[in-house]
Structure 1
Amino acid sequence: MSARESISYNIRVLRVAKGMSQERLALAADIDRSYIGRIERAKENLTIGALEAIAKALEVSVADLVSQPPEGAPPPPALRAGRKPKAESR
């Protein structure tokens, strides 16, 4: 797995584990949502500034994002599609 693929994998795994959409991560990191998508697909070269912003938004260290995933690690699960249901008003 290349460095770009490792970072992409780690960002997606951490984002999904936190239940964050790409849009929510992009807003928290002050990065364009389509850029997050390209990063997660390993189609974009990530800047150090963006890496730091994503790590901060995910509340992890930059080292967590650049670490090599275990060999044969399964792909991260997808989030449920659609919006979260609104809380009932009282």
Structure 2
Amino acid sequence: MGPTSNFGPVVRDLRAVRGWSQEKLAEMAGLDRSYIGEIERGDAVPSLITAQKLARALQTRLSELIARCECVRGPSPD
């Protein structure tokens, strides 16, 4: 699992910690709620501009958001 596939779950976790719905995050980021769902499920990979909007809405730096994606570990290949 790479940083791209981890992006959605990281966004979902940060949103949940804040107690926000997808609709609230979408409103804060200026995005459509259905697109937030696609990102969180991994059905869509956001552009750099969209990732920046999400980071700002989640009150974190884009670099921190990306770093969290890199830290998420999946099963180790054997």
Query: TM bucket by the smaller chain?
Result: 0.7 to 0.9
* Structure 1 residues not aligned, in runs of 5+: 73-90
More helix by share: 2
CA RMSD of aligned residues (A): 1.3
What amino acid maps onto 2:54 in structure 1?
I
Partner of 1:71: 73
- For 1:29 and 1:61, the matched residues in 2 are separated by 14
Partners in 1 of 2:38 and 2:58 — Cα distance? Answer: 17
Matches within 5 A, 1:17-56: 17-56=17-56
Q: 1:8-46 deviations in whole A, cap 9, x for unaligned?
A: 121011000010100000000000000000000011021
Whole-Å separation in 1 of the counterparts to 2:71 and 2:41: 16
The answer to whether the 8 A contact 1:22-1:37 is kept is yes
What is the CA–CA distance in structure 1 between the aligned matches of 2:66 and 2:35, rounded to whole Å? 18
Displacement over 4 Å in runs of 4+? none
Distance 1:14 1:23 in 2: 14
Compute the displacement of 1:66 (Å).
1.6
Structure (1 or 2) with the larger CA radius of gyration: 1
TM-score, L = length of structure 1: 0.73
Partner of 2:59: 59
- Aligned residue for 1:4, secondary structure, equals helix
